[in-house]
Structure 1
Amino acid sequence: MVRCWKHSENRLEEAQCTQSHFPHKAFWVSLSASLLLVVITLGLTGYLGMNVFLQSLQIVRIAAPDQTGALINQSAVVDQQNDLVTFSVTSPANQTSTVLFDIKHQGLICYKPVEQDSCLLRKMEPSDYDNVHSLLHESTHKSHFQLSGNETQRHTEFLGVLAANQVDVSTLEEPLQALCRDRSVHWTKRAKPGKQRLVYFCIDICFPSNICVSVCFYYLPE
């Protein structure tokens, strides 16, 4: 409260004034408290959102010996929220290729070999869904799988590259766009290579269901 003075018969008398600073102080205190509450809320929301995001992503390592007895060096990032599994497969020459299983968007598999300047697509088949689901479901309890060589089922798949049917990267969903940016993209189809056709690279992938697949690619005649 502010004191005011008035003249009355040659003397000053103290009088009460109605002017007060308290309403202004209350306004600024209230505004500061509101801003602080907003900052805390945004921070808490971001923290919880980041925790949910991190919990949906899990790195899983799967170890299994190859045909020569050496361990296959691979890991998988499992995104249960978006039904995505991204494999990183390292060759004996210490080169890492990427294989993306995208169940959510049309059920596609995208191969990104490190030694090539292209990405290769194919549609998922029932066996692919079974293998990926085993990883999506079992990885919630384990982050490392050691497969037994005696119990592991192994087979080889040959995929022919349809080089003439190039895919526009912009028509693909975001996970595939991000993976294959600045690369050409081609469809593949399952086929048996003839003796005159040369297989130019293979990728070995193992799943927790004790299944290892060697996927080999070659160009189909145009």
Structure 2
Amino acid sequence: MERCWNCSATALEESPCTDGAPALSPQFPHRAFWGILSAILLMVVIALSVIGHIGFRQPESQSMLQVVRITVPDQTGTLVNQSALVDKRNDVVTYSVTSNGNHTSTVMFDTKHGLICYKPDNQEICFLRKMERTDYENVHTLLDESKKVNQFWLMGNETQRHTEFLGVLGGSHVDASTLQEPLQTLCLQSSIYWTRRADGPGKQRLVYFCIDICFPSNVCVSVCFYYLPE
């Protein structure tokens, strides 16, 4: 290979021939390498941060919803299974109650807004009632106990049972848009009516339907509805 010698009066320097092309800086490959490496490390850090954020939020959101199963013998001794969806973040408990006729009704306890909503199966209708002290106590028992276990077996000889009668106020139609979530979604396509507690329907009124609800505190309530005179 031909070599070029550049001589000066003060020093003798040896440099490769460039044939007129400018010489490349020997520092360019070094700087490019560290620049690319820094960019790759930055991308890795961002990716790990995103994955860690998603992984942290997903278990947290999932832990806010829990399905609780309650098994209790009915009056004849037959085991009845109920399930409750516990929304701990919004303090909402939604019961799915299956009757002997294989019809499943929905009962939603919204403690944030102090309302109970009853929605019978295969009927586009919802009945509302304001929560009372005993309702809060029963729901809070389920919210507290669900932190420990997700299945409850109630003993028939220890379970307290009673019946509540609710009269349906025919002239109190409620617009679904005025309700808060999640009640609004539950009753969006339904006729909504207020109810009030009563001693009983009396001989002249017929019971419309009944829903049995059991709580982990060994309390079962049979809620029966009937229409009040207009």
TM-score (norm 1): 0.86
Cα distance in 2 for partners of 1:60, 1:161 equals: 30
Overall identity of the aligned pairs, in %: 56
Q: Does 1:129 align with 2:133?
A: no
| Per-residue CA distance 1:101-146 (angstroms, 9 max, x = gap) | 1111x21111111132111111000010111111111111121111
Matched, 1:161 2:168: yes
Task: Name the SS of the counterpart of 2:73 in structure 1.
Answer: coil
The gaps in structure 1 that reach 5 residues or longer are: 1-5
User: How far, CA to CA, are the matches of 2:151 and 2:17 in structure 1?
Assistant: 88
Choose which of 147, 151, 155 in structure 1 pairs with 2:158: 151
State the partner residue of 1:91: 99
Q: CA RMSD in A?
A: 2.5
Distance 2:214 2:100 in 1: 16
Shift of 1:221: 1.1
1:8-65, Cα deviation, whole Å (9 max, x unpaired):
8xxx734643483665565555444434433332222122111012222221111111
User: Which deviates more, 175-184 or 200-209?
Assistant: 175-184
Partner letter of residue 102 of structure 1?
A: D
The answer to whether the 8 A contact 1:73-1:91 is kept is: no
1:131-184 Cα shifts (integer Å, max 9, x gaps)? 111111111112111111111111111111123211121221111112222112
- Higher-Rg member (1/2): 2
Deviates more, 1:125-134 or 1:91-100: 91-100
Match of 2:109 in 1: 101
Distance 1:160 1:41, change over 3 A: same
What is the one-letter code of the residue matched to 1:108?
A: L
Query: Which amino acid in the other structure matches residue 160 of structure 1?
Result: G
Which one-letter code corresponds to 2:201 in the other structure?
A: P
Q: Secondary structure at the match of 1:48?
A: helix
Among 217, 220, 230, the alignment partner of 1:212 is: 220
Is 1:78 equivalent to 2:86 in the alignment?
yes
SS at match of 1:193: coil
For each residue in 1:159-216, what CA deviation from the matched residue of structure 2 results, as whole angstroms up to 9, or x when unmatched? 1112321112122111111222211221111112121111111100001111100001
Mean CA deviation greater in 59-68 or 120-129: 59-68
How many aligned residue pairs are there? 216
2:84, 2:94 within 8 Å by CA — same for their partners in 1? yes
Q: 2:50 aligned to 42, 53, 77, which one?
A: 42
